[in-house]
Amino acid sequence: NDNRAPVTCTPGQPGQQRVLHLELKTVAHAGMVGFPNAGKSSLLRALSNARPAVASYPFTTLKPHVGIVHYEGHQQIAVADIPGLIRGAHQNRGLGSAFLRHIERCCFLLFVVDLSLPEPWTQVDDLKYELEMYEEGLFERPHAIVANKIDLPEAQANLSQLRDHMGQEVIALSAVTGENLEQLLLHLKVLYDAYMEAKLGQGCKPLRW
C-alpha cells in the first residue's frame, strides 16, 4: 500500500530450458479389447455414463473412451473402450501399434468377443497373439472373457463351444438388451479388488478415480 511503484530490483540469473517428453502410463483400471464391431462401445455405454459413438461399420472408435462404473461405498472403476484391433496390429496395421500402447496402460483387461461369428474362440487366440507379439506377457495380465451379442440366435449355439475351447469362465451377455450385465459388473469388481490387494501387498499406492 505504501510502495505502489517500487524502483528496487534484484540481479537477474541465467534461466533454464528443458525439453521433457511425458508419457501417460495409465489410462484406466480395465481396458476392453476386441476386434472392430465386437460391441465394446455399446458395452461401455451400458456400464457407465460414457457415450462413445456406436455404428455398424468398423473403426467407429478412433480414440479410447473412458467410462466410470460406480459401486457401493463410493468406489469407482474406470473402464476404457480401446479402438478395435485387427490381425497384424503389432505390425502397425489397422489403427496401428499406438492403440496397443493403450492396452499396456490398463491394469486388467476385458476381452470382448462377438459371439455371433463362427468359431468365436479364434478371436481370443488372435488377440492373444497380437498382444504377445507387441509385449511378452501382456495377455497374462488379469482378464476376463466377455462374449457379447448373446441376444442373437446364432450366438446361443456358439457359447458352449467357446467355453469348451477356452477352459475358463466366459461371461455371456448382451450390451444391447442388458442381459447378464450384472455378472460382468460383479466380476469387474473381483478383478478390481484383486488389483487393489496386489498393489497394497507390494507397498504401492493403488490407482483410484
Which pLDDT band, with edges at 50, 70 and 90, does 146 fall under?
very high
Torsion-angle region of 178 (φ positive above 0: left; ψ -120 to 50: alpha; else: beta): left
Protein fold of 28-202: Rossmann fold (3.40.50)
- Specify the residue for cell string 500402447: 101
CA distance 112 to 37: 10
pTM beyond cutoff 0.75: yes
C-alpha triplet 75, 188, 120: angle, nearest 5°: 155
Residue 39, all three cell numbers: 460391441
22-64 pLDDT, tens digit each = 877 678 999 999 988 888 999 999 999 988 767 665 556 667 8
DSSP states of 105-153: TEEEEEEEEETTSSSTHHHHHHHHHHHHHHSTTSTTSSEEEEEE-TTSH
Which pLDDT band, with edges at 50, 70 and 90, does 202 fall under?
confident
